[in-house]
Amino acid sequence: MRAGDPRFFPQGGPRTLAAIAAAAGGTLAPGADPERCLLGVAPLQTAGAEEASFLDNRRYRDALAATRAGAVLLRPDLAAEVPEGTASITLADPYAGWARVAALFHPAPPPMPGIHPSAVVDPSARVDPSAEIGPLAVIGARAEIGPGTVIGAGTVIGPGCVIGPDCRIAAQVGISYALIGARVGILPGTRIGQEGFGFAVTPRGFLPVPQLGRVVIGDDVEIGANCTIDRGSLRDTVIGAGTRLDNLVQVAHNVEIGRACVLVALVGISGSTVLEDQVMVGGQAGMAGHLHIGRGAQVGAQAGVMTDVPAGARMLGSPAQPAATELRQVALLRRMTARGRRGGDA
């Protein structure tokens, strides 16, 4: 079955093998016809003669032997295993090549410049003529929407916000107190710039602390559905360029996330914690406030981080500790449990 139902995904084919190889950044096998056209992409197991596929995981070499795909992207050392009738396109990183080829056949829909009649745009807002403002969207006073940016249906851009060029802001997103760079993607339901969880405890109860910072998001950031990113209290909440947030991630006030970080679904980061560049955090992990997570650190799923993490460290467990220590303790506990069961049986 060809990937990309045309009801939902724009079609970009047909494409020649030469164009596919160029998009992938790979080398077309000698003897393959560079002008041969393919119509789409599909999984290796189901692809037909008019479709391109890829092999990145060696566990699926059996599927390669049986494939009927018109072309397969794969590493050079596997090219000899490509069956007759299938053109090989070799490259060092087949998965990255696949991403580019899939985009070649299914490009993102271009913006449809203009403001929908039902949208509400404040007269003082600046909307580039090439931007698309969807139905029932609201653009607040003094807000700026950059060229080529798409604002989805029902999305609210608060007063003074700046959205850079070529951004894709999906439906029902709320953005306030925020400066957003270029080529940023935000999926439905996300809320950016709301008040952080800040209050003073007094004899009379909780006293709200004004949240006077902003959210500053760098270029090429992707933010999943239903995320919440609080604005800073006095300084800014910052998300560095190229970072990826999965769905349902919570980023508290004053958090600073570096460049090219990855936060998987349901991660929660407490206030004023700093993540340096290229930090990876597994799903459902949580971090206490005012911590420092070093460059390139990896935090495993469901870990509870309560202390600073050095650069390059791998942390597991709750409370989180170095992965080697956690695994040794788990192994010891299993051995002790096994001995206890054997002793009980005796």
Which own/partner pairs from 159-166 qualify as long-range (CB within 8 Å, at least 24 positions apart)? 159/122, 161/193, 164/219, 165/128
Do 193 and 317 lie in one domain? The reply is yes
| CA-based torsion, 260, 264, 265, 267: positive or negative | negative
Do 85 and 187 lie in one domain? The reply is no
Residue 120 located in a structural domain: no
DSSP H/E element including 19: helix 17-24
What is the average pLDDT across 260-278? 98
Q: What is the pLDDT of residue 2?
A: 72
How far apart CA 290 and CA 270 sit, in angstroms, is 8
Q: By residue range, what is the domain housing residue 218?
A: 176-323
- Name the maximum alpha-carbon separation found in the chain: 84
How far apart CA 269 and CA 110 sit, in angstroms, is 35
Taking 3-state DSSP, the helix, strand and coil percentages for the chain, each rounded to the nearest 5, stand at: 15, 30, 55
Cβ(222)–Cβ(185) below 8 Å: yes
Cβ(82)–Cβ(72) below 8 Å: yes
Do 196 and 288 lie in one domain? The reply is yes
Do 210 and 93 lie in one domain? The reply is no
pLDDT in tens, 315-344: 999 999 999 999 999 899 888 888 877 665
Q: Residue 259 sits in a domain of what CATH number?
A: 2.160.10.10
Average pLDDT score, the chain: 95
Do 188 and 100 lie in one domain? The reply is no
Do 218 and 319 lie in one domain? The reply is yes
Q: What is the pLDDT of residue 346?
A: 45
Do 312 and 203 lie in one domain? The reply is yes
pLDDT in tens, 73-113: 999 999 999 999 999 999 999 999 999 999 999 999 999 99
Residue 257 located in a structural domain: yes
In the numeric block, which tokens belong to residue 196? 């952080």
Q: Residue 94 sits in a domain of what CATH number?
A: 3.40.1390.10
How far apart CA 106 and CA 72 sit, in angstroms, is 17
How far apart CA 256 and CA 243 sit, in angstroms, is 12
pLDDT of 30 > 70? The answer is: yes
Do 296 and 194 lie in one domain? The reply is yes
Residue 151 located in a structural domain: no
- What Å distances lie between residue 27 and 61, 94, 232, 260, CA to CA? 20, 11, 49, 28
Residue 284 located in a structural domain: yes
pLDDT in tens, 169-217: 999 999 999 999 999 999 999 999 999 999 999 999 999 999 999 999 9
Residues recognised as catalytic: 253
How far apart CA 62 and CA 81 sit, in angstroms, is 10
How far apart CA 173 and CA 267 sit, in angstroms, is 20
Do 201 and 298 lie in one domain? The reply is yes
Exposed e or buried b for every residue in 219-249, given b needs 16+ CB within 10 A? bbbbbbbbbbbbbbbeebbbbbbbbbbbbbb
- pLDDT grade for 1, boundaries at 50, 70 and 90: low
Centroid of chain to Cα 210: 31
Do 308 and 227 lie in one domain? The reply is yes
What is the average pLDDT across 6-12? 88
pLDDT of 345 > 60? The answer is: no
Q: What is the pLDDT of residue 11?
A: 87
129 — alpha (psi -120 to 50), left (phi > 0) or beta? alpha
Q: How many domains does the chain have?
A: 2
pLDDT of 149 > 90? The answer is: yes
DSSP 158-175: -TT-EE-TT-EE-TT-EE
Residue 130 located in a structural domain: no
Q: What is the pLDDT of residue 337?
A: 86
Residue 163 located in a structural domain: no
pLDDT in tens, 209-257: 999 999 999 999 999 999 999 999 999 999 999 999 999 999 999 999 9
Looking at this protein, which amino acid is placed at residue 331? Answer: A
The number of residues in the chain equals 346
How far apart CA 103 and CA 89 sit, in angstroms, is 17
Q: What is the pLDDT of residue 344?
A: 57
Do 206 and 87 lie in one domain? The reply is no
Residue 211 located in a structural domain: yes
What is the average pLDDT across 10-16? 91
DSSP 93-105: -HHHHHHHHHHHH
Do 183 and 317 lie in one domain? The reply is yes
Which DSSP category does 72 fall into?
E
Q: What is the pLDDT of residue 195?
A: 96
Residue 154 located in a structural domain: no
